[in-house]
């Protein structure tokens, strides 16, 4: 048993006496016995493994230097090839087991570098002035490598890259001294760059810690105005994007507070409207925009409404557009010239003339006194020329728009316009000339009769009574008969003037009312004056028709005037009589008698006779004058007759007949 040298050869027998063959481990040592049981020494190839047995037959373990070559055998004595880690150090052995010492080698397409002691380099190493990086297995790495929280780039041959590096469409910068990948801001060649946490060089607008910066296509940080995708931005001297208002020289700009985009066009800021040019400059003063004019004050705010600049006024509508031409503001119209100035004074537009108030600029309408002349402007503000009708009255304005007054010859015809009002006279007699209903004057060829509807609606109201719920008003009943009498007299060839018109409601006191009626008749030099009235009494039994004349004509003769008595017995009033009455007084007496006589027979009124009485309208008129009482409106029967149009017509016809009989 055990080792046995037989015939000069060493054998090994187990405890059972069996001769050992092949690899045998004896007391932690490895031996090799061939097929004949003989112990072998030296190199042995066995089952694709290679061993080296020393002169004692023991398989070598660990390093072995043999014939200048270095080998390594593991604990089982097997020679190692390839990369082997021994005591924490990495070695490389070629296919024959020889250790490679110092320098580069490749294995399975991977590159390694050995130190002089044969160990593989790991980590960051300087080789011939270049830095390389080897992993824990000694493999040389390329590309991005993180070392001690720093990132480096090693090119395809393993050398650490320094300076600029483009990978695809991305650019990086590796420190020229350390090779560290740049991140954050970096000043290179006097230019500022920014690299992301991944080392990528930034381009375009980049947000950094809440601030925006711009880097051009070369990665250089830009300042000042920058255009990006058709939008303009402003970056301050430190590269930060400006937001909000920005003054550069005497120009103001606005950069959006969210995006930083330069404002152009209209912009509402803080409730105020601004306008920025295509260059972003805030506008001031007058600005023409797409055919409209706007005004922006010194703060750039768009004006709305009235604006006064010096002595000139302008108006801008709710959209800020300056008004030109006609414009209605509130309830008034204004005219603004082409430059927007509010017009004052006269304005000719085409063939039309207008007047804008010299102070307010408001377009004139209606009557207007200008320079001592009267003008009239329509509701559209057009100055009237020629004939103009206003509220039923006619006026005439010459070619300069001035109201004409007094006598005027127009298109071959004579007209009269009252000096106080300018109203065209009609249906009257002025300066001895008859004026028809159209206002045309002609010489008198007919006798003129003035018919006076008694009383008015003011201090000369007249009688009034109510019978069976019906009210009878003398003022109105007098007018109804007067109008019908006018028609009847005109049929007989007389010119007739009424002292008041049916559409008028004069409010004069008694004295003024009488004076106006008397003056009208005297100024017209009428042939006769007839005043229509209705009587009243405290007794409902009183009835009949009465007429009054005055033997004393105070405007013609005041001699031989003495106190007297009415010839027909009315003694309840004082009376002055003319002992030598004028012709006009005598004709008036005759007309008074004829009227009551005819009314008595024609209309069946009781005849209460004609009476001499110094009533104002018969005493002070200078022609034959009569006051006629056409029945009692306090008498039920005669009140109804007074309101009856048929009876009114009969009265008118009877009085007209009497005038014809006496006046001729």
Give the N- to C-terminal CA distance of the chain in Å, as an integer.
198
Distances (CA, A) of 596 to 339, 453, 574, 602, 641: 79, 18, 23, 10, 16
Distance from C-alpha of 299 to C-alpha of 285, rounded to nearest angstrom: 10
8 Å CB contact between 358 and 340: no
Across the range 198-209, mean pLDDT stands at 96
Q: Token pair for residue 99?
A: 């250790």
- DSSP code of 592? H
pLDDT of 232 reads 97
3-state secondary structure of 512: helix
pLDDT of 508 reads 87
| Residues in contact with 512: Cβ distance below 8 Å, sequence separation at least 6, in sequence order | 459
For the segment 136-173, what is each residue's pLDDT rounded down to a tens digit? 889 999 999 999 999 999 999 999 999 999 999 999 99
DSSP secondary structure of 17-80? -PBP-EEEEETTEEEEE-TTSPBP-EEEEETTEEEEE-TTSPBP-EEEEETTEEEEE-TT-BBP
For the segment 364-400, what is each residue's pLDDT rounded down to a tens digit? 999 999 999 999 999 999 999 999 999 999 999 999 9
| pLDDT at 47 exceeding the cut of 70 | yes
Task: Provide the percentage of residues in the chain whose pLDDT is more than 90.
Answer: 88
Which of 432 and 431 is assigned the larger pLDDT? 431
Inter-axis angle of helices 636-643 and 645-663, nearest 10: 80
* Residue 519: its H or E element: helix 510-524
pLDDT of 101 reads 75
8 Å CB contact between 164 and 152: no
Sorting pLDDT into bands at 50, 70 and 90, what band is 636?
very high
CB atoms within 10 A of CB 284: 18
CB atoms within 10 A of CB 418: 13
| pLDDT at 574 exceeding the cut of 90 | yes
pLDDT of 443 reads 66
- DSSP code of 241? B
pTM greater than 0.85: no
The dihedrals phi and psi of 56, each to the nearest 5 degrees, come to: -90, 0
| pLDDT at 536 exceeding the cut of 90 | yes
Across the range 343-363, mean pLDDT stands at 98
Closest CA to 30 of 71, 73, 77, 66: 77
Distance from C-alpha of 327 to C-alpha of 201, rounded to nearest angstrom: 62
Question: In the chain, what are the domains?
Answer: 2-125 (2.10.270.10), 446-663 (3.40.630.40)
CB atoms within 10 A of CB 146: 10
pLDDT of 140 reads 95
DSSP secondary structure of 610-650? EEE---HHHHS-SS-EEEEEEEETTSHHHHHHHH-HHHHHH
For the segment 399-417, what is each residue's pLDDT rounded down to a tens digit? 999 999 999 999 989 999 9
| pLDDT at 200 exceeding the cut of 80 | yes
8 Å CB contact between 19 and 12: yes
3-state secondary structure of 651: helix
Task: Provide the percentage of residues in the chain whose pLDDT is more than 70.
Answer: 99
DSSP-derived pairing of the beta strands 545-549 and 625-632: antiparallel
Closest CA to 380 of 394, 366, 391: 366
Distance from C-alpha of 61 to C-alpha of 72, rounded to nearest angstrom: 7
Average predicted confidence (pLDDT) for the chain: 95
Q: Token pair for residue 437?
A: 């209903």
pLDDT of 444 reads 60
| List of E strands, 360-432 | 366-370, 373-377, 386-390, 393-397, 406-410, 413-417, 428-430
Closest CA to 605 of 571, 646, 560, 650: 650
pLDDT of 165 reads 97
Distance from C-alpha of 139 to C-alpha of 119, rounded to nearest angstrom: 12
- DSSP code of 379? T
Q: Which residues of 591-603 are buried (b: 16+ CB within 10 A; e: fewer)?
A: bbbbbbbbbbeeb
Distance from C-alpha of 482 to C-alpha of 453, rounded to nearest angstrom: 6
The dihedrals phi and psi of 645, each to the nearest 5 degrees, come to: -55, -35
For the segment 602-632, what is each residue's pLDDT rounded down to a tens digit? 999 999 999 999 999 999 999 999 999 999 9
Chain CA centroid to CA 420, Å: 48
């Amino acid at each position: 048993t055990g080792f046995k040298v037989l015939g000069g050869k060493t054998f090994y027998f187990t405890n059972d006496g069996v001769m050992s063959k092949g690899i045998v481990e004896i007391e932690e040592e490895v031996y090799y016995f061939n097929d004949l049981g003989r112990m072998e020494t030296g190199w042995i190839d066995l089952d694709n493994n290679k061993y080296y047995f020393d002169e004692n037959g023991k398989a070598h373990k660990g390093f072995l230097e043999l014939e200048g070559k270095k080998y390594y055998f593991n604990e089982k004595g097997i020679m190692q090839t390839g990369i082997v880690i021994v005591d924490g150090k990495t070695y490389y052995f070629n296919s024959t087991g020889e250790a490679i010492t110092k320098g580069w080698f490749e294995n399975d397409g991977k590159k390694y570098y050995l130190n002089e002691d044969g160990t593989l380099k790991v980590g960051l190493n300087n080789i011939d002035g270049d830095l390389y990086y080897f992993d824990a297995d000694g493999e040389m790495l390329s590309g991005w490598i993180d070392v001690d929280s720093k990132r480096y780039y090693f090119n395809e041959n393993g050398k650490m890259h320094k300076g600029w590096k483009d990978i695809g469409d991305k650019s990086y910068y590796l420190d020229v001294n350390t090779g560290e990948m740049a991140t954050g801001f970096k000043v290179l060649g006097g230019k500022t760059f920014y690299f992301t946490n991944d080392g990528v060089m930034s381009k375009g607008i980049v947000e950094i810690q809440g601030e925006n910066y711009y880097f051009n296509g070369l990665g250089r940080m830009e300042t000042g105005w920058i255009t990006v995708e058709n939008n303009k931005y402003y970056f301050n001297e430190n590269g930060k994007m400006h937001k909000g208002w920005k003054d550069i020289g005497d120009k103001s700009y606005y950069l959006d507070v969210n995006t930083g985009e330069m404002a152009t066009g209209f912009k509402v800021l803080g409730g105020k409207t601004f306008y920025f040019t295509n260059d972003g400059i805030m506008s001031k003063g007058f600005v023409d925009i797409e055919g409209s004019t706007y005004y922006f004050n010194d703060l750039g705010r768009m004006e709305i409404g009235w604006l006064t600049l010096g002595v000139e006024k302008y108006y801008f509508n709710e959209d800020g557009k300056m008004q030109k031409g006609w414009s209605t503001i509130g309830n008034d119209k204004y005219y603004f010239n082409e430059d927007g100035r509010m017009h004052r004074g006269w304005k000719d537009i085409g063939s039309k003339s207008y007047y804008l108030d010299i102070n307010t600029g408001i377009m004139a309408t209606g009557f207007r006194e200008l320079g001592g002349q009267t003008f009239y402007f329509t509701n559209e503000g057009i100055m009237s020329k020629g004939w103009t009708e206003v509220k039923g009255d006619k006026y005439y304005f010459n070619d300069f728009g001035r109201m004409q007054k007094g006598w005027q010859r127009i298109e071959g015809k004579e007209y009269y316009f009252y000096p106080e009002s300018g109203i065209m006279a009609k249906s009257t007699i002025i300066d001895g000339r008859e004026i028809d209903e159209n206002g045309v004057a002609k010489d008198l060829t007919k006798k003129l009769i003035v018919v006076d509807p008694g009383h008015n609606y003011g201090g000369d109201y007249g009688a009034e009574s109510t019978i069976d719920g019906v009210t009878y008003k003398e003022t109105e009943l007098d007018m109804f008969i007067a109008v019908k009498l006018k028609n009847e007299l005109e049929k007989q060839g007389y010119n007739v003037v009424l002292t008041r018109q049916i559409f008028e409601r004069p409010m004069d006191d008694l004295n003024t009312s009488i004076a106006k009626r008397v003056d009208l008749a005297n100024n017209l030099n009428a042939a006769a004056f007839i005043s229509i009235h209705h009587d009243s009494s405290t007794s409902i039994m009183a009835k009949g028709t009465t007429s009054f004349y005055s033997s004393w004509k105070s405007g013609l003769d005041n001699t031989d005037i003495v106190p007297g008595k009415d010839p027909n017995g009315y003694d309840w009033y004082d009376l002055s009589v003319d002992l030598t009455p004028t012709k006009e007084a005598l004709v008036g007496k005759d007309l008074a008698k004829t009227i009551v006589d005819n009314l008595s027979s024609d209309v069946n009124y009781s005849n209460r006779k004609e009476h001499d009485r110094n009533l104002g309208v018969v005493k002070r008129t200078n022609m034959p004058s009569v006051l006629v009482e056409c029945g009692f409106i306090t008498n039920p029967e005669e009140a109804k007759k007074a309101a009856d149009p048929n009876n009114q017509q009969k009265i008118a016809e009877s009085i007209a007949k009497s005038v014809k009989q006496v006046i001729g």
